[in-house]
A and B are shown apart, each in its own frame.
Chain A
Amino acid sequence: MNVVFWKELADHFSSRRFMILLALIVLIGLWATYASGQAIRQDTESAPTQYAFLFLLTSGTGTVFSLATFLGFFGPLVGITLGFDSISGEYARGTLSRVLSQPIYRDSLINGKFFAGLTTVAILWGSILLLVIGLGITLLGFPPNAEELWRMLIFTAVGIFYVGFWLALAMLFSLLFQKTVTAALASMAVWLFMTLFVVIISQGVAGIVVPDPTTPEQLARRADVENIVSRISPSTLFSESVSILLNPAARVFGLALQSQAEGILPTPLELGQSLNLIWPHITTLFGLVAICFGISYIIFMRAEIRA
């Protein structure tokens, strides 16, 4: 597996595709951070003092998305780009049967490819975060504290699972369709569905379950249903966990009734408490990755390799 892993990693890093992605993400990431950094400098009152750095990642200005939103949107694209031709490309070049007629286990090929992709994602994500921290120190004038660093680290881990899901999905499609273009299009279709249509569908389902909300309870219930349905999408799982993780003040998803909010002290949550809120999200994300990869694994192990 090591041999395949290092070769794939080298391939990723030397590919033009990766260069373009890197340039795109670094540019937009820096721009987003710079914009929100400037906003914080101009309006120091509204920024929370204990976690100004996290605020830098999550607060968007009127015209520019926040870095977290932006990564949530482009993460899938990275995963798909790294995965959509992993198997189908080898088929198309006629290299698959040659590689698999060498004395290696079949799973070392697919494992090597997957973990090389995941490592690429980790390096990409890590370097962007480091860049942002550097820029943030320049803009804000002080370094992040330990709590913020921990939160960013976990944010990175969640992000890797999130992109890992799209990588695994793209690999699955590249195995199922054997044609690179089909695999790319199918992955894109799922991505669009998960980011755009899930919102529409969840609103629709909520409208059916709670047709005419009049009381606050009904309104809250409708929002709940909407949340639950939209959680079939990994994008929702990611954005919800990021909203909790990077905002210590947040303690609920969606709406809370006034009666529920009564008596809550507006203090930031500890890291452990925030994590408690998003454990289900992280586990589900991890599970989705495992399921996707598992299916590819099973198919690949039994597939006939014809050049």
Chain B
Amino acid sequence: MSTVVETQNLTKRYHDKLAVNALNLTINEGEIFGFLGPNGAGKTTTILMLLGLTEATSGRASVCGFDPTHESLEVKRRVGYLPENPGFYEDMSADENLLYMARLNRIPDDEARRRTSEVLDQVGLSEDGRRLVREFSRGMKQRLGIAEVLVKKPRAVILDEPTLGIDPDGAIRILELIKDLNRERNLTVMLSSHQLQQVQEICSRVGIIVKGRLIVQGRMDELGRAILKERQWNFLLEVGAGANSLESDLRAINGIDEIEKRGQGFFLRCTRDVRPELASLLARKNLPLLQLRSEDPTLEEIYLKYFREA
């Protein structure tokens, strides 16, 4: 597996404010990397540096093996970028917008036309190619933006807040689209966001940046383990009746660390998998089981924990 994006102590300073502070980031080929952080954390600045749209104050970056500051053309040839709130030429149709971008990529015209209809089809806008962009809704513009990024057949794409300001249904469709593209084309995706739950679904790895510092990066389950240490076994137990009588029995089970009463049942933090014991306990006491669910630490918990620490 080769590395697509790598930064070493990448730093950007505006006057006396450090926007990005000694960032060390690695993104591997074929993964969806979630670049998370609150507003103003330095996500966009980092992305701009990766594309050579702004110069780093110090440190080094490498994208697809090229230095974005000095070989930005090589980087831009291989990487598609969808800015936050992408703008289009409103007086031109979706087709024309895409064709213009294709021409800027020096794609021959007939090939460009073929690719344009292909990518419009892929993002579900094949019916709207001839309409003017000014008639498009926000979600449609976002999908058009993704289509445009794909026209150049990139090796990797960088999407800045792709779900910002879009209704939940539209956001899910966009994320699904991103996931499909990642799977079908083995496209490397770097995706910045501050909306955790949405992104959690599709990211293979995440990095969390707060106040210009990357405080953690890794696979979702690794992060969860790192935070919640040995307590990676969380269960939600719900019973039909007699929940109150159950608590003392639960305490007796070896491996349950904490018991938290929740509605009709309990939230259990455990050091091992206690499901067999729970099942036999309920069977012994003849209580109706409504649900027994494993609850992994959500990204939100991880995220909030790191935000507070930083």
Residues on A close to B: CB < 8 A?
3-4, 7, 14, 92-95, 97-105, 302, 304-307
- Chain B residues near A103 (CB, 8 Å)? 73-74, 76-77, 104-106, 152
Are B104 and A99 in contact (CB-based, < 8 A)? yes
Residues of chain A with a CB closer than 8 A to B307's CB: none
Q: List 12 A-B contacts (CB under 8 A).
A: A95-B87, A95-B88, A98-B82, A98-B83, A98-B101, A98-B145, A99-B101, A101-B83, A103-B105, A105-B73, A305-B48, A307-B87
Known: A103-B76, A305-B53. Contact between A93 and B89, CB under 8 A?
Answer: yes
Say whether, besides A99-B104, A102-B76, A307 and B84 are in contact (CB < 8 Å).
Answer: yes
Let me know if A100 and B105 touch, CB within 8 A: no
Chain B 265-291 interface 0/1 with A at a Cβ cutoff of 8 Å (1 = within)? 000000000000000000000000000
B31 within 8 A of A: no
Seed contacts A92-B87, A304-B48, A307-B83; 17 additional CB < 8 Å A-B pairs = A3-B104, A4-B104, A98-B87, A98-B101, A98-B148, A101-B76, A101-B79, A102-B152, A103-B73, A103-B74, A103-B105, A104-B73, A104-B104, A105-B73, A304-B53, A305-B54, A306-B48
Q: In the bound complex, do residue A7 and residue B85 qualify as a contact, i.e. CB atoms below 8 Å apart?
A: no
- Please provide the chain B residues from 92 to 112 with a CB less than 8 Å away from any CB of chain A in the complex: 100-101, 103-106
Residues of A contacting B105 in the complex (Cβ-Cβ under 8 angstroms): 102-103
* Contact flag A95-B85 (CB < 8 Å), given A102-B101, A103-B77, A103-B104: no
Q: Is B88 a contact partner of A93 (Cβ separation < 8 A)?
A: yes
CB distance from B279 to the nearest CB of A (A): 54
Tell me if B90 counts as interface (CB < 8 A to partner A): yes
- In Å, the complex CA distance between A94 and B164 comes to 15
Q: Are A98 and B53 in contact (CB under 8 A)?
A: no
Which residues does chain A contribute within 8 Å of B152, judged by CB atoms?
102-103
Query: B59 contacts the other chain (Cβ, under 8 Å)?
Result: no
- Which residues does chain A contribute within 8 Å of B74, judged by CB atoms? 103
Interface centre among A99, A100, A102 (most CB of B within 10 A): A102
A94 to B106, CA, bound (A): 22
- B101 in contact with A97 (CB, 8 Å): no
Which residues of A are found within 8 Å of B80, using beta-carbon distances?
101
Sorted nearest first, the 9 A-B pairs with minimum C-beta distance are: A94-B87, A101-B81, A304-B54, A307-B83, A93-B87, A102-B104, A103-B77, A103-B76, A3-B103
Contact of B100 among A7, A93, A304 (CB under 8 A): A7
Distance of A101 Cα from B80 Cα, bound (Å): 7
Residue B44 lies at the interface, judged by CB distance under 8 Å to chain A: yes
B86 at the A interface (CB under 8 A): yes
Q: Does B51 contact A (CB under 8 A)?
A: yes
- The residue on B at minimum CB distance from A90 is B87
Q: Mark B136-153, 1 if CB is under 8 A from A, else 0.
A: 000000000100100010
- Do the beta carbons of B53 and A97 come within 8 Å of each other? yes
Contact of B85 (CB < 8 Å), options: A3, A100, A302, A307: A307
Q: How far is it, in angstroms, between the C-alpha of A97 and the C-alpha of B88 when the chains are bound?
A: 11
